[in-house]
Structure 1
Amino acid sequence: MFLFAIGGTGSRVLKSLIMLSAAGVKPLDENGRPVGDLEIVPVIIDPHKSNEDLKRTEALLNDYRIIRNRLYGNQLNVDGFFANRIVTLREIMSNTSVTLNDTFIFNLAAVEHDKFREFIGLATMNEANQALTSLLFADYQLENHMNIGFVGSPNIGSVALNEIKDSNEFKAFSNVFKQGDRIFFISSIFGGTGAAGFPIMVKNIRQAANLEGIENRDALSRAPIGGLTVLPYFNLEGSKDDTRIATSDFIVKTQSALYYYKGTLTGANDSNVNTIFYVGDQVRSNPYLYDPGEHGQRNNAHLVELVGAMAPLQFAGMPLSRLSDPDGYPLPTTAYEFALDKDVLNVNFLALGARTRQLIYKPMVRFHLLFLYLRTGFRDMIGQGFTEDAPKIKSDFTASQFYRTLTDQFLHGYTDWLVEMYDNTRSVGLFNIGENDMNRAIADVGTRKGLLGHKNVDNNVFKAEMNRISRDNPKYSAATVEYKLLDLFWQAATKIIDERYENIN
């Protein structure tokens, strides 16, 4: 599945998808079985390369790839932490004449350095065309530096991003796309880059037959396409001197864009998108620093992004019969919305609907327990029990690239993500932040009652269970120590969650 994350919101939703994938959340088909042979190919489209949210997401993607490759290599159908295979476009290319960097970032060199007036060649236009251009674009839009994005102006973005169809990345994408692949877009509707990029990309894919140098045109024109359209959910601090982006404009921009989308993407006569998901929040976030782009744009994580990250997983599990007719052409667009089970400002697992809990509760709890275990107990267990079974886990393992990438980098990003979601107006407290006691780690979910009180969960309980699973287990004889450690913990955590924690599903 090709996953195009457009603009700042695209990067932030993708970050939440990375966290869910690290926890082992996988797309399920209509029968509840994991979707087989799935590769996720994220492509981030954003001219604002210095965007801090983009850079954080790119770093997490690279860390994820290092960790997963060491655990499973090129295997696709696995169960465990970091189960979803996430690869770059370059990784899945065979020998080709197209030159492409091994990165998750779409190269937008054509729009990176110019002001918009230079990009459209305003100075070389005749007087009549210059006059027309001045009617279509405000002065501040013409002076906009393209390398900070489109600053809430989709009319700029629609012109600039149309160049994507001529890029090496788009040609490479078309060359590797095949029958059976799917495409998903993540974008906001109330800004500039995302609101413009989504319809432009869909248009170029559906009209691939009209493009030169593009392969697999028929497969592209009939490809199952899904999209997550993120409605307003965050708030900005006001700026007296710069009004290019204003929270008060978000609703008007959203209404206009939805009307346009109906005519080009989702309407009865223009169903170019098979499935679309809408998510937003009337309870706006804490005010984010007003930053049109010059200072990096670093926004806190939000519930909307976590919820949005489930949309591509749901799309990947949909049967083809719900997306396309027998000839492969799109059926009328199906739209989905998300709602909390309880409309509360402090969101924990119990505030989520049953279907959402069933998808993410156990995987996220397993991953959080792994986080606590590696932080508080693992080092003390080296040299005893399961660590002495083949293959042995020795003390130098904690200095390996894998372990340092997992603990110092990826889990550090995980902590930031949890804290940022917790600190927002609609606070997400799935876990008790800063709590190292596994008995009290899950917000409003305790351990089961036994004959002598509540059952206990701690590092010693995990040690005993991991020792039991590891003992004389031929499964690990040819495995790496990295796989052995995380697989043992996955199995132990599954049993401990079922037997010792309250059941909320």
Structure 2
Amino acid sequence: MAKLYIFGIGGTGSRVLRAFTMMLAAGVKLDDSIDTVVPIIIDPDSANGDMNRTADMLTKYQEIKKPFENEESGFFNVKIKTLSQLTGASQTDISDNFKFEINGTHSQKFRDYIGYNSLDNNSKAFIDLLFSAHNLAADMDVGFKGNPNIGSVVLNQFTQSEEFTQFLDSFGNNDRIFIISSIFGGTGASGFPLLLKNLREMNAADGKTFQVRNAVIGALTVLPYFKLKSGEATGSEIDSSSFLGKSKAALAYYERTIVADKRLNSFYYIGDEDGGMYDNFDGKDKQKNNAHFVELAGALAILNFAAEANNLSTTNGQADNPTYKEFGIESKDVSLTFKSLGYESFTYLTKPLAQLSLFSKYLKLGLPKAMSASTIWLEEKHRGVPKSFFKSYYYTNSFNKFIQNYDEWLNELEDNTPSFKPFNHSVDFDNALELIEGYEPKKKLMFKKDAKLTLVEDRVSKTYTRYTALPNETKFVKSFYDATAEVLIEKIGI
């Protein structure tokens, strides 16, 4: 089985990874040849809200998956690992929280990072040609603030890091690489071509580097998909009116280097001219943008790449027959549902997200009722999931918090522009199966809707008997995966 290494560069990289994590939690299928995902987040802004929220969700995903790590589980089906978990390195050697640590950027200005004051006059004059006084005075604590010329210098240290050494040590012959970045900022626009260049120009004489150099590599480049308010109130230096110009310049550079040199096997593009307006913060914890449909659609590129990777190949660091793809939807509406998606996207997303959303709805509305009654799947004498399980650390601090974040993510997608509203969040216990926008549950006796959450509970009381010999965590997750799948097929037809 192969591993899929996903490099998420900058804030956009973290946000697309967040969407991808939600999809895996819902049971969205990766290609059967891949059983482990290795996310690596690259961002110099260690306090970035988007990055830390994503890293936290990845950690909680791992905690949930651990009791059934090596078996099929439906929800949370794919293993997620850090580099240190793959290699057995101690936490003092490399990070164990999915973040690649960029040395020398904390509490330091760019001029100090490059040792400007120690240079001779000729070298200073050359540096002054490349970087403005404003660039040299830039504080790198919050990233590169839309300056890829700074980022290209700082991020070039990646291959000298302990993390990169561990990446090489863990990389296998059939493993894949996918890179996520934006083209209109500083970190992603500089980090992506640098990382790709280093991967493709490795010393082929070394066995491990040969594998990486000739690996199948895909990438998602995210074009502008939101705008920022004026930074006057927050002191931000980022101006979204420059996003389009930066993107055009970067695309021309990508064409001359990445495309012309066939560095990628699959190259995906996505953006949105009519995206919403966000508050303008340079970085740190306040940079925590609401989820956007473009990020969800971008995460679909990872699935498409994983499905096609077995048919792709690389020779001497160059892709054989590279492909280039864009994403589109079958609707011009500003409010999107599952029915707005093309066939492949619809097939990937609809049933898994509907299952996890129905599961979440039951936990909020059905479980309290079940806990106060004699419910067969909650009774230890019937080898069910004991009620004490719902007070455990596993449920309260890992599972339930992940589900809460999943619901928040869906709400953010709905409240953004364009709005992606696949679910009706106002349903209650009696009409819970009217959850999916555009779908009505089949009627009972040809005239009466049968949409109560009781249907899920009744089905769980049957499905849990398949797993009575398993630990409570496994029993809980698998029983509800089976139950929600069966209810949706029977009552909604998906």
Match 2:196 to one of 171, 190, 202: 202
Deviation at 1:412, TM superposition (A): 1.6
Give the total of aligned pairs: 485
Does 454-463 or 177-186 show the bigger shift?
454-463
Alignment check: 8 A CA contact 1:277 1:336 kept: yes
What do the CA deviations read for 1:193-217 (whole angstroms, capped 9, x no partner)? 0011111111111122189xx8611
Matches within 5 A, 1:96-135: 99-135=93-129
Partner of 2:17: 14
Deviation at 1:37, TM superposition (A): 4.4
Structure 1 spans left out of the alignment, 5+ residues:
29-34
Matches within 5 A, 1:346-385: 346-382=335-371, 383-385=374-376
Alignment check: 8 A CA contact 2:226 2:278 kept: yes
Structure 2 spans left out of the alignment, 5+ residues:
none
Partner of 1:288: 278
Alignment check: 8 A CA contact 1:455 1:500 kept: no
Matches within 5 A, 1:104-503: 104-209=98-203, 216-240=208-232, 244-267=237-260, 270-285=261-276, 287-293=277-283, 296-324=286-314, 329-382=318-371, 383-388=374-379, 390-436=382-428, 437-470=431-464, 473=465, 475-503=466-494
CA RMSD of aligned residues (A): 2.2
Provide closer, same or farther for how the CA distance between residues 95 and 229 of structure 1 changes in structure 2, counting only shifts above 3 A: closer
Alignment check: 8 A CA contact 1:5 1:44 kept: yes
Provide closer, same or farther for how the CA distance between residues 439 and 73 of structure 1 changes in structure 2, counting only shifts above 3 A: closer
Deviation at 1:319, TM superposition (A): 4.2
Q: Give the aligned residue type for 1:63.
A: K
Alignment check: 8 A CA contact 2:107 2:141 kept: yes
Partner secondary structure for residue 58 of structure 1:
helix
- TM-score with structure 1 setting the length: 0.91
What do the CA deviations read for 1:437-466 (whole angstroms, capped 9, x no partner)? 313211122112443325413221112222
Deviation at 1:109, TM superposition (A): 2.0
Deviation at 1:487, TM superposition (A): 1.3
Deviation at 1:165, TM superposition (A): 0.8
Partner secondary structure for residue 227 of structure 1:
strand
Q: Structure 1 CA distance, aligned partners of 2:15 and 2:182?
A: 11
Q: Structure 1 CA distance, aligned partners of 2:399 and 2:34?
A: 28
What do the CA deviations read for 1:227-257 (whole angstroms, capped 9, x no partner)? 0100000110013486732111111111111
What do the CA deviations read for 1:401-435 (whole angstroms, capped 9, x no partner)? 11113454111211221111111121111112343
What do the CA deviations read for 1:27-69 (whole angstroms, capped 9, x no partner)? 24xxxxxx13420000000010111111111111111110011
Provide closer, same or farther for how the CA distance between residues 98 and 292 of structure 1 changes in structure 2, counting only shifts above 3 A: closer
Partner secondary structure for residue 344 of structure 1:
coil
- TM-score with structure 2 setting the length: 0.93
Deviation at 1:340, TM superposition (A): 0.7
Provide closer, same or farther for how the CA distance between residues 253 and 210 of structure 1 changes in structure 2, counting only shifts above 3 A: farther
Alignment check: 8 A CA contact 1:206 1:220 kept: yes
Does 199-208 or 403-412 show the bigger shift?
403-412
Deviation at 1:468, TM superposition (A): 2.7
Partner of 2:45: 48
Alignment check: 8 A CA contact 1:98 1:172 kept: no
Q: Structure 1 CA distance, aligned partners of 2:88 and 2:57?
A: 25
Deviation at 1:373, TM superposition (A): 0.5
Q: Structure 1 CA distance, aligned partners of 2:292 and 2:122?
A: 47
Q: Give the aligned residue type for 2:217.
A: I
Deviation at 1:372, TM superposition (A): 0.4
Deviation at 1:176, TM superposition (A): 1.0
Percentage identity across aligned positions?
34
Instruction: Give the helix-richer structure, 1 or 2.
Output: 2
Q: Give the aligned residue type for 1:169.
A: E
Alignment check: 8 A CA contact 2:200 2:317 kept: no
Q: Give the aligned residue type for 2:360.
A: F
Q: Structure 1 CA distance, aligned partners of 2:332 and 2:354?
A: 23
Partner of 1:74: 70
What do the CA deviations read for 1:446-501 (whole angstroms, capped 9, x no partner)? 1124433254132211122222334xx4x423201121122111112111111111
Q: Structure 2 CA distance, aligned partners of 1:480 and 1:253?
A: 53
